[in-house]
Chains A and B, each alone.
Chain A
Amino acid sequence: MPLSSDEASRFADLLKEHAESLTARWVELAGASLRGRLSSAELRRQLDDLRKGFEQAMRSGSAHLTDEGSAELRAQLAEISGHRARQGFSATETAVSIFALKDAVLEALGNGDDAGTLRDYVAFSAFVDRAALFTFDSYVQVRESLIADQAEQLLELSTPVVKLWDGVVAVPLVGTLDSARAQVVMERLLQTLVDTGSPYAIIDITGVPAVDTQVAQHVLKTVVAARLMGADCIISGIRPQIAQTIVALGIEFGDIATKASLADALRYVLNKTNRSLNTKRTER
C-alpha cells in the first residue's frame, strides 16, 4: 500500500517534531543488535542522517523508494550498506538497523488507537521495509564487487615465472588450476621463454592441492605448446598422493620428464645442458 501525499507529509512532520527523541530511541534499538561493534556516536550520526533522509523523502511526497524525491535517501542507504559490508556486518544486521525505525516511530506515535493512525503507520512501515530491502541489495552488490576484485588480484599474483639457472626457468604453481588461470600461466610461461631464450622450463606443481584430468590437460597443453616453440618442459613436485591419483585416472604424460622434487628436476636439466656443453667442448 503506497503512501498518499498527506500521509507522507504527516510523517515528515512527525520525523521533524520528534527528531531528538526518535533518533535517540532508534540508536538504542539499532545499537542493541550491533552489540557495540559500532560506536554509538557513529551510529547516531549515521541514523540521524538517515532520519533526515527519510524526512526529506516524505516531504517531497514520494510514495515509493524508487521515486525522484527519494534519490538522496537511496544514496544514503547504499553508502551505509556498503560501509557496513566492508566492515564485516551481515546483511541482516544492516537491515535490522533500518527496521528499528519502525519501532521508534510507533513509540513516537503514542497511544492514538484510531484507524487512521494505524493505516498511516502500515503505509509508512511498508516504505521502511522497502528501504531495508534496498540495503540488502546494495550489500550484495558491494560484496560481489569485492569478490570480483579479489578474484582478479588472485589471478595477478598467482603466476610468477622465475629464472633458476642460465637457460632454465621455473613456474611454481600454487592453488587450484582452473581454465582461466591455466591460460594465464601458459601465456606468461611461453612469453618468458621467448624473452629469456631459455630452452628449459620446469613446471612445479607442489602447491597444487589436487590434480584431476582437467588440470592435467592444462599442464599437458602447456608442455606441448612449449615444445612447439622449441623448449623442453619438466614437471616436478609430484606428491605421492597425486602420483597415485594420476595413475588411477589413467593420465598419460607420455615422454614428458616428471620428477618428484624441484631439486631433482634442476639436476636433470643441468645434466642435460652439461652434456651438451661437454660435447661442444670435445668438438673443439
Chain B
Amino acid sequence: MERVPVLKIGDILLVSIQIDMEDQVALQLQEDLADRIVATGCHGVIIDISALDIVDSFVGRTLATIASVSRVLDAETVVVGMRPAVAITLVELGLSLPGIRTALNVELGIELLARSRQDELTELDFDEDEPDAAAVSTS
C-alpha cells in the first residue's frame, strides 16, 4: 500500500499528499502523524492538498480527525493549497470542515502557525508580566 511521507521541518511536520487519497491511505496517514507528533514533539502540522483533485466526505472527515488528534497532542493543524474546484464541491456538498484551519499555500500556512504559536507564548508572557505592569502603573 502506498504511504504519504511525513517530513519534519524545524518545529513543523509537513505532509504533502501527492497520491489519490484512498480510505486506507487516509487512515494510515492519521496513525503515522499521531506517532510522528509524539516522537518529534512538533507543535505544527501542515497538510498540503494542492495535488488533490477530489476530496470526498471521508477524506474531509479524516482531515478533521487528524486536526482534533493533533490538537490533543498540542500541535496545530493547517490544511493548505485546496483547489477552487475542490472548495466549491465541498461547499455544494455542505461540508465546511469545521475545526480545520486553512491557508492558501505552504508559506502562508507556516506564517499562520508561527503567529498562533507566538500568540500562545505572548499570552503566557502577559500572565507573568501582569503583576509587574500593575506595580508600575500604581507607583
Contact = CB atoms under 8 A, between A and B. Distances in A.
A153 B118 CA distance: 49
A187 B89 CA distance: 11
Interface string A225-259: 11111110000000000000000000000000000
Interface residues of B, number: 29
Interface stretch (B2-10, B21-29, B33-41, B78-86): B78-86
Contact of A229 (B84, B112, B115, B122): B84
Interface in B41-88: 78-80, 82-84, 86-88
B18 interface: no
B90 interface: yes
Contacts of A46: none
B19 interface: no
A119 B108 CA distance: 86
Nearest to B109: A230
A280 B114 CA distance: 9
A194 interface: yes
Nearest to B84: A190
A199 B103 contact: yes
Nearest to B79: A230
Given A199-B103, A279-B115, A280-B115, A228 B87 contact: yes
Contacts of B82: 228-230
A193 interface: yes
A280 B115 CA distance: 7
B104 A197 contact: yes
A191 B118 contact: no
A280 B112 CA distance: 11
Nearest to A188: B84
A178 interface: no
Interface in A179-208: 186-187, 190-191, 193-194, 197-199
A42 interface: no
B104 A186 contact: no
Given A186-B88, A225-B87, A225-B90, A283 B118 contact: yes
B84 A187 contact: yes
B84 A191 contact: yes
A224 interface: yes
A221 interface: yes
25 contacts: A186-B88, A187-B88, A194-B83, A197-B107, A199-B108, A221-B91, A221-B92, A224-B91, A225-B91, A227-B102, A228-B86, A228-B102, A229-B84, A229-B87, A229-B104, A230-B79, A230-B80, A230-B104, A230-B108, A279-B122, A280-B111, A280-B115, A280-B118, A283-B114, A283-B118
The 6 closest A-B CB pairs, nearest first, are A190-B84, A230-B102, A230-B103, A225-B87, A228-B87, A225-B91
